[in-house]
Chains A and B, each alone.
Chain A
Amino acid sequence: MEETDRQVPVTVLTGFLGAGKTTLLNRILTEQHGKKYAVIVNEFGEQGIDNDLVVDADEEVFEMNNGCICCTVRGDLIRILSGLMKRADKLDAIIVETTGLADPAPVAQTFFVDQDVANKTKLDAIVTVADAVHLSSQIEDHHEAEEQIAFGDVILLNKIDLVKDENIEVVTKRIRKINPFAKIIKTTKCGAPLKEILNLDAFSLKRILEVEPDFLESDHDHEHDDDVTSLSFVSNTPLDMEKFQNWFGKLLQTKGQDIMRTKGILDFKDENDRYVFQGVHMLMDASPMGKWPENKERSSRLVFIGRNLDTMNLKEGFEACKSE
């Protein structure tokens, strides 16, 4: 059996207080789905969920002692996941709830940094529950709300029954501006089918090829400088691998704190394979993913989500990586 076949998928569930995370967790635990899910909740969470498969955690964020300042991980998660892996019954998935204000990055990074966690579990997707009524004002007032949207692979836009259609469109646009590649599911009472939330494999590089991000040039009109926004680039000229590695490595090293997520498919000169990568802050996973499909034009595509992206000379940097 392949190592990856035995990895239990872990979904990170985030979202502002009152958005509907607990509603979703209760559904996951009580619906008749024939699956065994463990849920890791914050001990100071909104309300108690009573179930044998609920584990209390205390969201301890540790700095890794490896000289990398933005490399923070969830120490409690390392402990709890390795404990869960000793269970007699095999879990179909694990869901980690983060509190409304917590940055989901340390949770995601835990899966890149700890060897035991990486061997036995895999980060499946970051699911953000957003309150359609209050999201716009929350984004204005709390940078965490913006960050949760930025990190999400799936965004459940919840409570749409309480919002007028035209306002749903406004909120959707706002989300798209921050995060062009998340899948947005509109729900009332978080009523989306679980198969659209769990076991998505959103962090596998293969999956990035299947669900190609929406590479529309994003708007670029800033209201204030610390807005989280996204920028994307496309090039039909093949890239020079060495130049790209130099530029991109240095970029993540120096600006990794502001760059929240990156995804890309790259076409390098003199290489037959497509290169796919994705990152959370300065941690990155990259690999060649087989030959380019014959009926498809080769091109490089790159998306950044983060703060202060317009100060990083991303366009110039990317252009300079093109081979002559």
Chain B
Amino acid sequence: MTTDLNQFPELDKTKFEQRGIQLEIGVPVTCAVSIGNNIAAGFGDGTVRIFSSGEKHKTLKAHKGVILCMSKDGDSILTGGDDGYFLKISLNGEINEITNFGSRWVDHVAAYNGNLVCSSGKVVYYWDKNKKEPKSLNHDSTIGGLAFDAKGRRLAVSRYGGVTIWKKDYSNKWKSTKLDWKGSHNKVSFSPDGKYLVTSMQENVLRCWRLKDKLDFAMSGYGSKVKSFAFISDTSYLVTSGAIDAICWPFDGEGPMGRKPICLPYIGNKQVTFIEPFPDEKAIFAGLSDGSVFLSQIENENNTIIIRSFTGSEVSAIAMTHDKSSIFIGDMNGNTLWTSIWDQ
């Protein structure tokens, strides 16, 4: 990409790019998660790459097709692919098949404390820790997203027409409650304090439910579909992509109703395509449609630094190691950056 950088001298290599490792893998980066102080990234050709500080990354051939989803499960990752496989992969490269749906894709995966979940089409499969056979949880339409709450007690399943929340009762039977809102719901997440549930919709809008009284409201004003959102760990903000600014909705106190979001602007008027909170801080990494990535303090927009410069391809994954020392960035053309965050 040197020619591009020459055309944009103001976007010269950042110090993070200079000291980090940049790869041009040429295949879309579809997902990335942190496992301890390592990062696992999934790619469109079915490979998983594991980045650890001080050693060369490991490349594992895991799926035959696109890795569609990934989740952390203790010291391992779970992956689902368009080859129909649901896999568990350990840090040292051991790959175990959990199940295989043939020509049906594994669209979403999640885990909590050894309990494993995946969805394929309209069905969610739930493996209780130490059980061989999964429990099937059926839905009327294709599943758009899966999420456990912070304590692993509730599983939210988004779909057309709203969200189904599954929970086991005292006699270990599955019970469900429904949150209805017309339209197609995709990614879903509980707030870390468990009080709210948010989905991103096919329309350019987020839907939020306050769970104690099921009061629901929209968070709108987006120029495009919101593909990436996350809560700051103390539930002070919900940060989202979908606009040319990073949008930060306040969730402290009485919540976001009637309040305006903080909008963090970036140079160049490019869409924010990926958002990742900086762990335990009111700060975010924002990845843009041109490949650039910024780190911003939410309550001080002047405190923004550039982490990665222009690559020409939309940012599709950002993950930070557990010790907050290093960050991984990937985009749809397979350009990756793995770098330490702090000056030595």
Contact = CB atoms under 8 A, between A and B. Distances in A.
Interface of A: 52, 54-56, 58, 60, 62-66, 73, 75-76, 78-80, 83-88, 114-116
Interface in B1-38: 26-28, 30
B225 A75 contact: no
Contacts of A52: 64-65
B142 interface: yes
Interface in B92-125: 103-105, 107, 121-122
10 contacts: A56-B103, A56-B104, A58-B122, A58-B142, A60-B142, A75-B142, A75-B184, A86-B30, A88-B27, A88-B46
Nearest to A76: B142
A206 B66 CA distance: 35
Given A58-B142, A86-B28, 11 more contacts: A52-B64, A56-B104, A62-B160, A63-B182, A63-B183, A65-B203, A86-B44, A87-B45, A87-B82, A88-B26, A88-B46
Contacts of B66: 83-84, 86-88
Contact of A88 (B45, B68, B105, B183): B45
A60 B141 contact: yes
B243 interface: no
A54 B103 contact: yes
A234 to B, nearest CB: 40
Given A75-B184, A86-B30, A55 B103 contact: yes
A121 to B, nearest CB: 14
Given A88-B45, A115-B225, A79 B142 contact: yes
A75 B160 contact: yes
A231 B189 CA distance: 51
B43 interface: yes
B224 interface: yes
Contacts of A83: 66, 68, 82, 105
Interface of B: 26-28, 30, 43-46, 64-66, 68, 82, 103-105, 107, 121-122, 141-142, 160, 182-184, 201-203, 224-225, 332
Contacts, number: 72
Contact of A75 (B64, B107, B202): B202
Question: By DSSP majority rule, is chain B's interface helix, strand, loop, or mixed?
Answer: loop
B163 to A, nearest CB: 15
Given A115-B224, A115-B225, A66 B203 contact: yes
B337 to A, nearest CB: 19
B334 to A, nearest CB: 9
Given A62-B202, A64-B203, A83-B66, A88 B142 contact: no
B182 A65 contact: yes
Nearest to B83: A52
A78 to B, nearest CB: 7
Contacts of B82: 55, 83-84, 87
Contact of B184 (A58, A62, A85, A88): A62
Contacts of A86: 28, 30, 44, 66, 68, 332
Contacts of A73: 202
B287 to A, nearest CB: 16
B225 A58 contact: no
A85 B28 CA distance: 9
Which of B28, B103, B105, B225 lies at the interface centre, i.e. has the most chain A CB atoms within 10 A of its CB? B103
A87 B27 CA distance: 8
A75 B68 contact: no
B43 A88 contact: yes
A210 to B, nearest CB: 33
Contacts of B141: 60, 75
Nearest to A50: B103
A52 to B, nearest CB: 8
Contacts of A84: 66, 82
B74 to A, nearest CB: 27
A88 B225 contact: no
Contacts of B142: 58, 60, 75-76, 79
The 9 closest A-B pairs by CB, nearest first: A88-B45, A65-B183, A86-B44, A88-B27, A86-B66, A86-B28, A88-B44, A62-B184, A56-B103
Contacts of A80: 105
A229 to B, nearest CB: 34
A93 B203 CA distance: 27
B226 to A, nearest CB: 12
B32 to A, nearest CB: 14
A55 B43 contact: no
Contact of B121 (A58, A62, A65): A58
B138 to A, nearest CB: 13
